[in-house]
């Protein structure tokens, strides 16, 4: 007996051998499936050189629209969304979907600031002429025109008291480096400015769900690499929840080459840990 040909909606499906091999070796998505990772065409402004940190006074954004250069200064920024609690007796929600549009109305950047379903930290450029739109429920997003957050990152916001009382208020910096290890959050980063050129491997991904990293290189189509979370299996018994170690199958780590001037956009990640394993 032979192997049955895969079907979709009653039609024969021809597997794309090149796409499968590329994905298995590098995590990069190519072929017909690639288009499903792009919900919209990204702004060409992503290819522009990154802006400088201007050290302007910090600003608090809430639900609404803002014109960069008019309602607030331009510059590279670190963003921090306020925490939320969703338990009935102590409900306090601060949820906001932030989108940045260029002058043509194309999307430059998007992030869901949500304690459960999206990262609360991001780093990106606020470019003159761009428009910020925040839609949500009592959204509070602090804007700092500095590379790192100040000693009190909640100087413009009041996090839920229950989290403060439990000691669960902690903020990671948007970008940190330790030797060849780079730890970054969602945002847009320029190679040669925010991280060195070279060949990188993905060490770990922290995100609400599996997501993707976009790679932009001048003169080429954007590329996309799938970031898959490590699965954890738990044993639940009367004593509580216990993590069960599981032998992971041997797979090639996601690896990509970054050149000076490239832009990377890790989407919806609370932390992406990269290891620089070789020069270009």
d(CA 266, CA 211): 8
- Given a cut of 50, whether residue 240 has pLDDT beyond it is no
If pLDDT is split at 50, 70 and 90, which confidence band does 30 have?
confident
pLDDT at 229: 79
Q: Do 190 and 150 fall within a single domain?
A: no
**pLDDT digit string, tens, across residues 40-53:** 999 999 999 999 99
pLDDT at 7: 52
Q: Do 14 and 67 fall within a single domain?
A: no
pLDDT at 238: 39
**pLDDT digit string, tens, across residues 198-222:** 999 999 999 999 999 999 999 999 9
Query: Is residue 4 included in any domain, yes or no?
Result: no
Q: Do 113 and 183 fall within a single domain?
A: no
Q: Do 58 and 161 fall within a single domain?
A: yes
3-state secondary structure of 150: coil
Query: Is residue 2 included in any domain, yes or no?
Result: no
Average pLDDT over residues 110-121: 94
Instruction: Let me know: does 141 contact 96? Beta carbons within 8 Å.
Output: yes
Place of tokens 């780093």: 123
Q: Do 105 and 65 fall within a single domain?
A: yes
Average pLDDT over residues 90-96: 84
Place of tokens 């080429």: 220
| Among candidate residues 113, 145, 171, the one where a domain is terminated | 171
Lowest mean pLDDT among 65-69, 95-99, 151-155: 151-155
Q: Do 228 and 211 fall within a single domain?
A: yes
Instruction: Let me know: does 23 contact 114? Beta carbons within 8 Å.
Output: no
**pLDDT digit string, tens, across residues 146-176:** 999 999 999 999 877 655 655 666 788 999 9
Q: Do 53 and 90 fall within a single domain?
A: yes
| Among candidate residues 148, 171, 194, the one where a domain is terminated | 171
Q: Do 144 and 239 fall within a single domain?
A: no
Q: Do 146 and 64 fall within a single domain?
A: yes
Higher pLDDT, 16 or 191: 191
| Among candidate residues 123, 154, 171, the one where a domain is terminated | 171
Instruction: Let me know: does 57 contact 123? Beta carbons within 8 Å.
Output: no
Q: Do 164 and 60 fall within a single domain?
A: yes
d(CA 35, CA 54): 37
Query: Is residue 3 included in any domain, yes or no?
Result: no
- Given a cut of 80, whether residue 65 has pLDDT beyond it is yes
Q: Using the 8-state DSSP alphabet, how is residue 248 labeled?
A: P
Instruction: Let me know: does 184 contact 174? Beta carbons within 8 Å.
Output: yes
3-state secondary structure of 44: helix
pLDDT at 75: 98
CATH code of residue 50: 2.60.120
- Given a cut of 50, whether residue 2 has pLDDT beyond it is no
- Given a cut of 70, whether residue 274 has pLDDT beyond it is yes
Query: Is residue 79 included in any domain, yes or no?
Result: yes
Task: Identify the H or E element spanning 273.
Answer: strand 271-278
**What residue numbers bound the domain in which 221 lies?**
9-38+176-278
Q: Do 57 and 114 fall within a single domain?
A: yes
Measured between alpha carbons, how far is residue 244 from residues 195, 231, 236 in Å?
A: 36, 11, 10
pLDDT at 231: 47
What is the total count of domains within the chain? 2
Q: Do 92 and 144 fall within a single domain?
A: yes
């Amino acid at each position: 007996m032979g192997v049955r040909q895969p079907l979709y909606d009653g039609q024969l499906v021809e597997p794309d051998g090149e796409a499968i091999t590329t994905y298995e070796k590098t995590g990069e998505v190519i072929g017909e499936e690639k288009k499903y990772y792009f919900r919209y065409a990204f702004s060409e402004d992503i290819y522009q050189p990154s802006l400088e940190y201007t050290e302007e006074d910090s600003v608090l954004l809430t639900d609404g629209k803002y014109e960069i250069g008019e309602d607030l200064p331009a510059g590279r920024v670190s963003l921090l969304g306020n925490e939320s609690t969703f338990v009935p007796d102590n409900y306090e929600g601060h949820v906001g979907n932030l989108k940045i549009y260029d002058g043509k109305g194309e999307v430059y950047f998007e992030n869901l600031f949500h304690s459960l379903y999206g990262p609360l930290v991001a780093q990106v450029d606020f470019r003159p002429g761009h428009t910020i739109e925040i839609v949500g429920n009592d959204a509070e997003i602090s804007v700092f025109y500095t590379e790192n957050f100040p000693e009190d990152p909640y100087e413009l916001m009041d996090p839920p008291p229950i989290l403060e009382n439990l000691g669960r208020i902690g903020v990671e910096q948007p970008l940190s480096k330790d030797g060849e290890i780079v730890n970054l959050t969602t945002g847009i980063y320029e190679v040669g400015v925010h991280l060195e050129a070279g060949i990188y491997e993905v060490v770990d991904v922290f995100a609400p769900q599996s997501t993707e990293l976009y790679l932009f290189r001048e003169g080429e189509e954007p590329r996309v690499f799938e970031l898959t979370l490590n699965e954890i299996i738990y044993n639940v018994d009367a004593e509580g929840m216990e993590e069960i170690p599981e032998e992971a199958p041997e797979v090639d780590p996601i690896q990509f080459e970054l050149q000076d001037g490239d832009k990377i956009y890790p989407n919806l990640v609370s932390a992406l840990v990269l290891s620089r394993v070789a020069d270009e």
